[in-house]
Amino acid sequence: MNERQLRAIEKLRADQAIVSATADRVRGGLLPMPDPERYRQPLGELLDALAEHLPHVDPPVREHAVRVCRNAFGDRMDQPGTRRSRRR
């Protein structure tokens, strides 16, 4: 494997970790949502399934899902306005 492939694998593992962590947070009730008793467990299971199958998801869908999960943690570094302001 070359360096580019290794970086892609590392990125995929990091993406899977953030989606799994978001699933844990959802199930733990740490993220606000309407009617948490109804949606907490199914949404957690959906995010776990997404994390497991993330390598097979279309890249634009994968990037969007990971961005949403990062935003749930308060990480805004993937937004262009934030990145530009950090470089100044």
- Band of pLDDT at residue 70, cut at 50, 70 and 90: very high
22 contact partners, CB below 8 Å, separation of at least 6: 31, 47, 69, 72, 73
Sorting pLDDT into bands at 50, 70 and 90, what band is 6? very high
User: Model confidence at 87, in pLDDT bands (50, 70, 90)?
Assistant: low
Report the C-alpha gap between 38 and 46 in whole angstroms.
Answer: 14
State the pTM of this model: 0.81
3-state secondary structure 62-81: HHHHHHHHHHHCCCCCCCHH
pLDDT band at 78 (very low <50, low <70, confident <90, very high): low
Domain extent at residue 9: 3-87
The answer for residues whose C-beta is within 8 angstroms of residue 45's C-beta and 6 or more apart is: 23
Q: How many domains does the chain have?
A: 1
